[in-house]
Structure 1
Amino acid sequence: MPVSAKTAAVGGALTLAVLLGASWYLTIGKGPEDPLAECRVGATAGTTRIGGPFTLTSETGATVTEKEVISGPSLVYFGYTWCPDVCPIDSTRNAAAADLLAARGYQVTPVFISVDVARDTPESLREFTDLMSPKMVGLTGTQEQIDAVIRAYRAYYRVAEPGNPETLIDHSTQTYLMDPAQGYLDFYDRDVSPEVMAESVACFIDALKTNTK
């Protein structure tokens, strides 16, 4: 595929992320009664229903549900292993944030859900996630399963050229902070650094411990 086409596709994904962020700002927003407001990175975090039950296939080939995957605080990202730059960069950031948190005694799992049903196998996912972090969990599934989890997380993807073995895929690039008890807590855009993400996640974990005592 020509370089210009790749650049255009990646640019489209970034533009989409900005539009999604703007949309969420108008529909969600911080509330004055939000007990976790101090932990939130963006004004778009908050109250809408994001996430929910899913059944997918892990990088080991096992069938798993959200209860097994999100057993503790988790950073959930949608991408694909053939992604030329955006997914590796974002996944490296998520892994770095998890390492910073681990150094402070917080156990947080980075989760990578593939939107590339045609090419991403459990084996290719395992190779990708192992490069990012031994903590990272890779997930794939059938077309129906991936579409269902995309809807649940209000995410987006579009295969640019179905049937082309080198196709790029436009997709949303937010990373979602999920908790097994509370569900969705916040999301982080691409420009959030590992340090800022780690501070925010640690704040949520501490606040939830305090509020549930």
Structure 2
Amino acid sequence: MNIAIMARNVVGASLLLATAAALGGCDVAPAPDSRPPLEGARIGGPFTLTDQNGRTVRDSDFAGKYRIVYFGYSFCPDICPVDLQKLMRGLSLFEKAAPERGAKVQPLFITIDPARDTPAALGPFVARYHPRLLGLTGTPEQIAAVAKEYVVVYNKVEGSAPDRYLMAHTQIAFLMGPDDKPLAMLPVDDPTTDADEGAPDKVAAELAKWVK
């Protein structure tokens, strides 16, 4: 296991502990009596960032929409691309099965490497995965603030050259509700799961549970 995966597992475990402390099959429709697993968790909050087209984006722009929120970086050599494949293929399956409900979900990719992930770098990266995926960047201070709101931790892992570093970070995807409250974590946390073998189905099934 390489250092990036080892570090990712450490910060992932940290998030699970933080989430625990914060907590007070693809159905046709969500179960009316079920309660979201992250109900009451102190996750999410206001942000002002910049998308891949250079436009200012605020959390309030998505009022009334569900959101898939994933933190990562475009220079990630392995895990982030696989996670995004799982998430976006799962979203595409859900959109196909339930077009009206699928249209209510806005996917967001928030970088934790703003030094390299400029809007110009994010544009071609997010375009690989889904036509509606927004890539968001900002100043180091803005990224630190939004990561804190989502209980995401990250750190730089020095490489063989100043520009060849890795970023260890929490590996998790949140589904946020139209009221900006957390609903569930989407199943992307197993780096050994093939993005083509069942993982998108699991993501689609989880979306079907909560998106009304």
Q: TM-score range by the shorter chain?
A: 0.7 to 0.9
TM-score normalised according to structure 1 size: 0.81
More helix per residue: 1 or 2?
1
Aligned partner letter, 1:166: R
Distance 1:65 1:26 in 2: 27
Deviations 1:9-39 (A, max 9, x none): 222112321342244335527xxxx9533x6
What amino acid is the match of 2:90? A
SS at match of 1:91: helix
Secondary structure of 2:211's partner? helix
Asked if 1:113 is matched to 2:119, the reply is no
Offset at residue 164 of structure 1 (A): 1.7
Stretches of structure 1 that go unaligned for 5 or more consecutive residues are: 207-213
Q: In 2, distance between residues paired with 1:183 and 1:46? A: 8
The residue aligned with 1:101 is 94
Indicate the residue corresponding to 2:196 in structure 1.
Answer: none
Letter in 2 for 1:64: V
Cα gap change, 1:182 to 1:59, in 2 (>3 Å): closer
In 1, are the aligned partners of 2:52 and 2:120 still within 8 Å (CA)? yes
Q: Which has the higher contact order (CA 8 A, sep 6+)?
A: 2
Partner of 1:173: 171
RMSD between aligned residues: 2.3
Give the structure 2 partner of residue 209 of structure 1. none
Q: Is the 8 A contact 1:114 1:139 kept in 2?
A: yes
In the TM superposition, 1:74-89 aligns within 5 A as 74-89=67-82
After superposition, the Cα gap between the structure-2 partners of 1:145 and 1:27, relative to the gap in structure 1 and judged at 3 Å, is: closer
The amino acid across from 2:183 in the alignment is L
Q: Does the CA contact (< 8 Å) of 1:121 and 1:140 recur in 2?
A: yes
Shift of 1:205: 1.7
Structure 2 unaligned regions, length at least 5:
25-31, 194-198
Quick check: 1:21 aligned with 2:16?
yes
Q: How does 1:150-161 map to 2 (within 5 A)?
A: 150-161=147-158
